[in-house]
Amino acid sequence: MIPEPDNIAMRKIDILDLGARPYKEVWDLQKELVEKRRNGQINDTLILVEHEPVYTLGKSADENHILQHTPREVKTYRIERGGDVTFHGPGQLVGYPILDLHNYKKSISGYMRSLEQLIIDTLAEYEITAERKDGLTGVWVGDEKIAALGVRVTRWITMHGFALNVTPDLTYYSGIIPCGIFEYGVTSMARLLTDEVTVDSVKQVLIEKFMSQFQTAESMSG
């Protein structure tokens, strides 16, 4: 149970809703904001964005997980987050928290579990039962991944984050082995729901859940 606001310290967290922006532009912005956060020039910030179709490779990703029939118009970026290869594109809600973990629990695994719980709680509002899988990162519905996670933490400042499949074109995943996992598939909220869902509507729910989870002084205490 979340304590009443009068009885707890509230952190200042800014929401930066960018709409649709090119991947490279927002990657550069993240690096700029990380330095500003480290120097105390900005508050903790959650960037929310949709990208053009791109594939990204984590720092230790296997390039063979991008398949030969990958669409040629899709750019590929090797970036500094953990994890393997993933897809970003329209209809996917991408979140990049720029947080100073000195103000939370200094645990990268704890932070990752908090991001997973954020997605699980958001999906629960749509009566989608999602969960973690032992030994794997991300959020799953059955044996299909609905959200991917990959972060970088330098001197306890976070960047990169999560990607939740709301209404993306899932055929783009046929060009990769998502997250380097052969045996499981991917899904989206649109595939699982009978009612129409939009990135903008999910965004509002996710912001509420993010604030509930990260804004209070007790966040990530376990």
Task: Please name which of 163, 169, 167 lies closest in space to residue 198, comparing C-alpha atoms.
Answer: 167
d(CA 122, CA 128): 9
Contacts (Cβ under 8 Å, ≥6 apart) of 129 = 123, 141
Q: What gap in Å lies between CA 96 and CA 175, rounded to an integer?
A: 24
| DSSP SS3 for 17 | strand
Q: Are 82 and 150 in contact (CB under 8 A)?
A: yes
| CA distance readout (Å), 188 to 58, 108, 139, 175, 213 | 22, 26, 11, 17, 23
Query: What are the phi and psi torsion angles at 158 (to 5°)?
Result: -95, 155
Q: How would DSSP label each residue in 72-87? A: TT-EEEE-SSSSSEEE
What residues are annotated to the active site?
Answer: 179
- Write out the DSSP string of 158-199: EEEEEEEESS--GGGGGGB-GGG-SS-EE--HHHH-SS---H
* Residue 149 contacts residue 112 (beta carbons within 8 Å): yes
